[in-house]
Amino acid sequence: MSQLGFEPILGSYLAVALLALVLLLLLGVTPQFGSLTPRRKLTLIGLRLLIVLLAVLALLRPNWITTIREPRSSVLLLLLDASRSMQLPADRGSQTRWESQAAALAASRNELARLAGKTEIRAFAYDYHLHELAVSGGQITLPLDPVGDQTDIGTSLYDALRGEAGKRLLAAVLVGDGVQTAFEPKVETQEAARKLRDDFAAPLFTVTFGLSGDAAQARDVAIDRLDEQFTVFVKNEIVIRGLVRVRGYVKKELPVELVLTDEKNQAQTIGRRTIQADEDNKQVEVEFAYTPQTPGHYRLTMRAEKQPGERVIKNNELDAYLTVLEGGLRVLYVDGEARYERKFLRWALDASPDIELDDQVVPRRSAGQWPIDLGPDFAGGKYDAFILGDLDKAALGDDNVKKLADAVNKGKGLLMIGGRASFGRGHYFKTPIDDALPIVIDRIEGAEFGEAALAQFFLNEPQKLVPTGPHPITRLTDADNAAAWSKLPPLAWANKFFGVKQTPGTRVLLKSPQDQPLLVSGEYGKGRTLAFAGESTYLWRMHDFKKEHNRFWRQVILWLVQRDDTSRDEVWVRLDQRRFNPGSKVNVEAGARTATGEEIGDARLETFLVHPGGRREPFTLAKSDQHFRGQLQPTAPGDYAIEMTAYEGDKKLGTAKAEFLVFDRDVELSNPAADPDLMASLAAWTKQEGGRAVAAEELPKLLAELADKPPEYEVRQKRWRLAGTSGDAWLMFALMTVALTAEWFLRKRWGLV
């Protein structure tokens, strides 16, 4: 469609008319033609009239507008799931999801052919990546089999949209089972759907194949949860718990076993249980108890027996790691109050991985329930050493006191620390504990006194600690040990000992500058004992003497249990987790420290990654503070290990090993359920544009609707205006020049000029 228009100067036809009238009036003035013939007169008048008409035309500025309607080109995106989960059943019949998807495309062939004549069809197969498929006349060439090991729906849709940037998108059709299995998706599904809505304003239609939820998982037994790492000291019992999810086998007895595999890959079943679920889709806890007899690194596998009709068995087992430590020590700390010293002492001993501390507070307000029963703890051989704090003898009772002394006599260690109800003030005079301790307790200490008179039993001023000589407990440094002690904050106060026993093995280890004994060691039968007058070593840690605090208390425990060799160094490797998906990042941290927990900052590490099958690959850890750190990213499933040897100069400090597992669980086939809810939620992002979830049998109808959709046109105008281009302007100028020149030339020739 075309039309003529004008754009008069000054935007006014009146102005043009007035100017034209003036020009025409000028033509009315009778020119001096002399004796020219009528024909020559008409020629001159005609030329002048032509000049006026050209001037009026230029003033009107005519234009010619042509409107053109062209069909808009568009693209239809079709994404088809090609991951291995499409090998699972589409329904309760024998057809797989892949076969059902192919059948739906075959049934839609005519509609696809109609669409191909009107729009561009781009088809892709997707799994963890996007793969473009050949399309010819509506016929899509599919892969022979779905082989993708992971499904990344979000990234696949996002990448497909990114390739159509700037184009008009008719619609996107996402076909598959809707199960997102990518370990580390680059783009989340919601982000991809939002891009389709915001950048293209096009609908997303989703078509789901496969049974959803409980319908697909009607018969399945899966190990849902098992801790990744267990650590226990040798000959100590450990309890291993797991959760088993049961679907479709209600009230049926289901065997579950726990298998232990050692470093020589020799496996043994260490426990069997039978579980039973009383309702469907329920998690059932299963528990195994095990007491390891040999230190080392082990693999634990919890496995549920395959059941009849169970299609997916990859999730029937789960692995974990067990580290059995040699020489683990257990200490029981019983105090009468929840004091600072107890909390800080726990922190100090927690720095030693081979010392486990259990503590119990018996407050004075519970005196009505005294004595408490600690007989099994004192006599059962569970603990290697005992610490008594601000605890009256009445809280333990005569029977417990005797059992504790007997345990020390047989080789256990005993430490009593200062307190208002410790030593004589705790009424231990003439008890078996009195016999075991290396200090003298007088009868008068347990008598009742007024507050002022109690001062005679305590050193209420701050007490500096002075070592009396070399000893494993008081060795804080191998250099100037006395200077190291002089830098420590003094004790806030201390108990005042009536005396020190003059028995073999008894020795004052720490004293005050006024020669008051503060730490006294002794022997009782086969055991060792300590009497420590203070209870405020927490001040050391508060004043930035953490290293000294940790070392002192570790050496106290090691001496009590007769393991006072503190020269053993420790080399360690730590992982943030022990089970990984293929391609996940494995963060490794390692280091070396002394037996007292001091980091060896100048250690040199030789580290190897041991692959499944035994191949050793050098692996470099970078120094970071006092530790060494690195990162791995293994992709092949299997058992891996990090083996490390630490050196200080030429001295070998020790070796360490950390094992981890890269899952061999087939994520595509381990969950038989489709996820139509995810597909529907993606389509809902484009609801305003018409997006929706579509049943598989409705796919041909959907494509027919898209094919019948009226085409959209792109309307554009082609415009010509007089003198709108340089060519038009020069033509107009040439016509005016020719007319004026011709009129002047003729007048001159005819003798009028």
For 56, list phi and psi in degrees, rounded to 5. -65, -40
Core vs surface per residue 113-151: b (16+ CB within 10 A) or e: bbbbebbebbbbbbbbebeebebeebebebeeebebebb
Q: Rounded to an integer, what distance in angstroms lies between the CA atom of residue 75 and that of residue 86? A: 26
Q: Please report which confidence band the pLDDT of residue 32 belongs to, taking 50, 70 and 90 as the band edges.
A: low
- Residue 413 is assigned to a structural domain of this protein: yes
Report the number of distinct structural domains present in the chain: 5
Give the three-state DSSP class for 718.
strand
Per-residue confidence (pLDDT) for residue 749, from 0 to 100: 80
Average pLDDT over residues 700-726: 79
For 139, list phi and psi in degrees, rounded to 5. -90, 120
Q: List all residues 6 or more positions away from 131 whose beta carbon is below 8 Å from its beta carbon.
A: 82, 124, 125, 143
Average pLDDT over residues 498-523: 95
Percent of the chain with pLDDT over 90: 50
What kind and span of H or E run contains 706?
Answer: helix 699-708
Q: Please report which confidence band the pLDDT of residue 459 belongs to, taking 50, 70 and 90 as the band edges.
A: very high
Q: Rounded to an integer, what distance in angstroms lies between the CA atom of residue 50 and that of residue 740? A: 9
pLDDT tens figures, 583-632:
888 999 998 876 555 678 788 899 999 999 889 999 999 988 778 999 99
Q: Are residues 547 and 507 in the same domain?
A: yes
pLDDT tens figures, 312-351:
787 899 999 998 877 678 899 999 988 999 999 999 988 8
Q: Are the beta carbons of 597 and 349 closer than 8 angstroms?
A: no
The amino acid that residue 179 corresponds to is V
Q: Are residues 597 and 690 in the same domain?
A: no
- Continuous H helices in 522-665: 538-542, 546-560
Edge-to-edge strand list for the sheet holding 296-304: 229-233, 317-325, 296-304, 254-261, 267-275
- Residue 158 is assigned to a structural domain of this protein: yes
Give the three-state DSSP class for 725.
coil
Q: Are residues 15 and 114 in the same domain?
A: no
Report angle CA 379, 385, 389 to the nearest 5 degrees. Answer: 100
For 18, list phi and psi in degrees, rounded to 5. -65, -45
In 363-412, where do the E strands start and end?
A: 385-388
Per-residue confidence (pLDDT) for residue 187, from 0 to 100: 92
Closest of 312, 296, 286 to residue 216, by C-alpha: 312
Cα separations (Å) of 81 from 84, 126, 713? 9, 5, 33
User: Is the Cα dihedral 402, 404, 407, 413 positive or negative?
Assistant: negative
Domain boundary among 298, 325, 352: 325
Domain CATH for 398: 3.40.50.880
Q: Are residues 159 and 137 in the same domain?
A: yes
Q: Are residues 471 and 505 in the same domain?
A: yes
Q: Rounded to an integer, what distance in angstroms lies between the CA atom of residue 133 and that of residue 125? A: 7
Position with higher pLDDT, 622 vs 57: 622
Q: Are residues 414 and 547 in the same domain?
A: yes
- Residue 565 is assigned to a structural domain of this protein: no
Percent of the chain with pLDDT over 70: 94
Domain CATH for 656: 2.60.40.1930
Q: Are residues 294 and 254 in the same domain?
A: yes
Domain boundary among 560, 593, 628: 560
Domain CATH for 95: 3.40.50.410
Give the three-state DSSP class for 674.
strand
- Residue 577 is assigned to a structural domain of this protein: yes
Q: Are residues 529 and 438 in the same domain?
A: yes
Domain boundary among 261, 293, 325: 325
Q: Please report which confidence band the pLDDT of residue 711 belongs to, taking 50, 70 and 90 as the band edges.
A: confident
Please tell me the least confidently modeled range out of 180-184, 533-537, 689-693: 180-184
Flag whether pLDDT at 565 surpasses 60.
no
Flag whether pLDDT at 31 surpasses 60.
no
Per-range mean pLDDT, top range of 222-236, 272-286, 667-681, 733-747: 272-286
Position with higher pLDDT, 118 vs 92: 118
Flag whether pLDDT at 156 surpasses 80.
yes
Flag whether pLDDT at 179 surpasses 70.
yes
Q: Rounded to an integer, what distance in angstroms lies between the CA atom of residue 711 and that of residue 127? A: 33
Q: Please report which confidence band the pLDDT of residue 379 belongs to, taking 50, 70 and 90 as the band edges.
A: confident
- Residue 287 is assigned to a structural domain of this protein: yes
| Two structure tokens written together for 55 | 């001037």
Per-residue confidence (pLDDT) for residue 598, from 0 to 100: 67
pLDDT tens figures, 75-105:
999 999 999 889 888 877 778 999 999 999 9
Per-residue confidence (pLDDT) for residue 217, from 0 to 100: 53
- Continuous H helices in 13-96: 13-28, 38-60
Q: Please report which confidence band the pLDDT of residue 420 belongs to, taking 50, 70 and 90 as the band edges.
A: very high
Per-residue confidence (pLDDT) for residue 436, from 0 to 100: 96
Please tell me the least confidently modeled range out of 22-36, 637-651, 721-735: 22-36
- Residue 331 is assigned to a structural domain of this protein: no
Domain CATH for 231: 2.60.40.10
Q: Are residues 348 and 462 in the same domain?
A: yes
Average pLDDT over residues 239-261: 92
Q: Are residues 574 and 485 in the same domain?
A: no
Q: Are residues 424 and 489 in the same domain?
A: yes
Flag whether pLDDT at 566 surpasses 50.
no
pLDDT tens figures, 488-507:
999 999 999 999 999 988 99
Average pLDDT, rounded, for the chain: 87
Give the structural domain span for 602: 570-662
Give the single-character DSSP code of 355.
E
Please tell me the least confidently modeled range out of 11-15, 227-231, 334-338, 537-541: 11-15
Per-residue confidence (pLDDT) for residue 721, from 0 to 100: 76
Q: Rounded to an integer, what distance in angstroms lies between the CA atom of residue 257 and that of residue 272? A: 4
- Residue 330 is assigned to a structural domain of this protein: no
Flag whether pLDDT at 651 surpasses 60.
yes
Q: Please report which confidence band the pLDDT of residue 742 belongs to, taking 50, 70 and 90 as the band edges.
A: confident
Size of the chain in residues: 753
- Residue 741 is assigned to a structural domain of this protein: yes
Asked if residue 371 has a cis previous peptide bond (ω within 30° of 0), the answer is: yes
Q: Are residues 737 and 610 in the same domain?
A: no
